[in-house]
Amino acid sequence: MGMTDSLKNIYEKIPKGVKYAFAPVFIRFMVKNKTFVQTWKELDQFDRMNEDERKAYQLKALRETLIYAYEHVPYYRREFDQCGFDPKSVKALSDIACLPLLEKNDAVAAGNELYSTDEHLPYYKTFTGGSSGQALTVLLDKASIYKERAVVTHFLAKFGYDPLRTRTAAFWGHNKDQDYYYSPLKNEIVISPFRLFKGNQLESICQDIEKFKATYIMGYPSAIYLFAQMLEKASRKIHIDHVVYYAENCAPEEKAYIERVLGCPVDSYYGHTERACFAEIRDTGCVFNDYYGLTELIPTETPNEYRIVCTGFLSKKMPLIRYATDDVVQIDENGAMRLVGHKRSEVHLISKNGQKVFKGAMTLHVEELKKIKRYQYVQTEPGKADLCIVQETPLTDEEIRRVREYIARRCEGLLDVEIKFVDEVQLSTRGKYQWAVNRIK
């Protein structure tokens, strides 16, 4: 077990009051880590480079990634050989265009063949949420924890964020059976979006944020927008310096509303569990981080729309080369790029008190996903939904119980979910998968 695992196990078990007392130790462990410090330094250097220097850096990182993948990952050795592709001969970023796209279902089917055989490379396991219909078991380098955190906070630092001192309140996930969950490594309290749906919770949520002295609010835009609506309706004021949202789409008018009610700027970034792509989202458009990886934009059938295809540089344990996401960008006539994001994320469920529940609040992040081929929520009346599961391998009674308990914790009594096993999930009239089917009129 690595040092990071040991710390995580410790702070998961100790009371919040003790976590607060030792928070500076955890935060310094993250920010003063040599990988974090080196990544931050390289990001500063990258920002000062001209376009030619950045392309040269990218080409070097790309060649190293391709060579490593060929030498250590069975899937890529086979793919490269079949294409007659020699990673050592790469002289331009466009040279990888001859390689096939890695669709998510390809990655799921590849299984262990997509993992590095380097036994000395420390790693940890996580899962994608399965919002595209299939969950992927992802192995990431331990070092990528610090690299990722450095990239995110380096972006936030442009707004005055200090990774050693700034405190944040985040609306996402669930609270682990508490009013909120405290993450010492991020100096952040995590407040479940479902807590917003409950009656008479606004004042206690505001008091939790104020007592913690959070100056940034982060998380799902749907939850932050609802929080702003509740504040305005109650004429409740709260001092926040900046709002940063992620994981869902946010309409321009909703962003403007949040800025008006909270009286602070709102910005966003794009990333995913697989850590192969990162983008900063501003009013002027979407800008992909070329230090983080190589991003290709592949035209779709829709005019001026492009699919995001990425090759990540941060982690070696499971290299993702030409990984084709379900996310898209649109480029206008002036060349400005707008992130549309996951096009199916606007589908929503309805809670018992009529609130919209979006994808981010309902995705599964559990070990049992490796046995689930696809899943989909189906709703016919408010406050109730069926979780339809297509099994890859039959789940045991204990595994079903754990999934049921996980969902119950997230929904906090405001959405009753019944698990049903099906042969296949429902598709749209165009044959497209959707994470949820809402039949409420």
48-61: pLDDT as tens digits: 999 999 999 999 99
Tell me the mean pLDDT in the region 219-227.
88
On whether the CB atoms of residues 377 and 362 are closer than 8 A, the answer is yes
Q: Assess whether pLDDT exceeds 60 at residue 2.
A: no
**What are the DSSP calls for 338-381, one per residue?**
EEEEETTTT--EE-TTS-EE-HHHH---SGGGGGEEEEEEEEEE
Determine the distance from the C-alpha atom of residue 364 to the mean position of all C-alpha atoms in its chain, rounded to a whole number. Answer: 12
Go through the domains of the chain in sequence order and give each one's CATH number: 37-141+273-342 (3.40.50.12780), 147-271 (3.40.50.12780), 349-438 (3.30.300)
Cα–Cα distance, 108 to 110 (Å, whole number):
6
On whether the CB atoms of residues 297 and 310 are closer than 8 A, the answer is no
H or E element in which residue 125 lies? strand 123-127
**What are the DSSP calls for 245-313, one per residue?**
E-SS---HHHHHHHHHHHTS-EEEEEE-TT-S-EEEEETTEEEE-TTTEEEEEEE-SSTTEEEEEEEES
Lowest mean pLDDT among 9-23, 215-229, 256-270: 9-23
How would residue 373 be classed by pLDDT, with cut points 50, 70 and 90? confident
**Nearest one of 318, 366, 310 to 112, comparing CA atoms:** 318
Tell me the mean pLDDT in the region 395-419.
89
On whether the CB atoms of residues 127 and 301 are closer than 8 A, the answer is no
**Nearest one of 369, 276, 371 to 317, comparing CA atoms:** 276
Determine the distance from the C-alpha atom of residue 116 to the mean position of all C-alpha atoms in its chain, rounded to a whole number. Answer: 23
The DSSP letter of residue 216 is E
Tell me the mean pLDDT in the region 106-121.
94
Tell me the mean pLDDT in the region 75-81.
97
How do residues 24-35 score in pLDDT, each as one tens digit?
Answer: 888 888 999 999
Q: Compute the C-alpha angle 127/413/190, nearest 5°.
A: 50
How would residue 419 be classed by pLDDT, with cut points 50, 70 and 90? very high
On whether the CB atoms of residues 368 and 396 are closer than 8 A, the answer is no
Cα–Cα distance, 386 to 437 (Å, whole number):
10
Q: Please report, rounded to a whole number, the percentage of residues in the chain having pLDDT higher than 90.
A: 59
